[in-house]
Amino acid sequence: MTSQSQGIQQLLQAEKRAKDKLEEAKKRKGKRLKQAKEEAMAEIDHYRLQREKEFRNKQMNVMGSQGNLSAQIEEQTAETVQNLTSSYQKNRESMIKKLLNVTYDVKPEVHPNVRYAT
């Protein structure tokens, strides 16, 4: 009977060692998964920061060129307005005289479609 109990004790000890090894393997696996997850998150954050930096650079290039275009358009508009204003000031008096001459120089004529009653 003692040999049976000794055999049972050995089996129980072997089962306990196997259980301990399984728990240890599970802990190592969990630790590796946690480490892999942390590394993946760090890599994702690094990639995200890199892409955001590239996006900001491209955005600055585009917005910068749009800012230059906007400044050019404003400059051209101001120049055109100035040219029109100076042209208006220069030709104003002569146009007023022409309009008044045409208005005052009335030559009464009978319309060509008028029929005289005979």
pLDDT tens digits for range 96-108: 999 999 999 988 8
Q: What is the pLDDT of residue 13?
A: 93
The total number of structural domains that make up the chain: 1
Report the range of poorest mean pLDDT among 1-5, 45-49, 101-105.
1-5
Quick check: is 52 in a domain? yes
Domain holding 40, by residue range, is: 11-72
Asked if residue 88 belongs to a domain, the reply is: no
In the predicted model, what is the mean pLDDT of residues 105-115? 88
Whether residue 49 is contained in a domain is answered as yes
Q: What is the pLDDT of residue 2?
A: 72
Distance CA 117, CA 109 (A): 18
Residue 118: pLDDT band with limits 50, 70, 90: low
What is the total residue count of the chain? 118
| pLDDT given at position 72 | 87
- 108 falls within a domain: no
Q: What is the pLDDT of residue 68?
A: 76
pLDDT band for 45, please (50, 70, 90 cuts): very high
Whether 86 is covered by a domain: the verdict is no
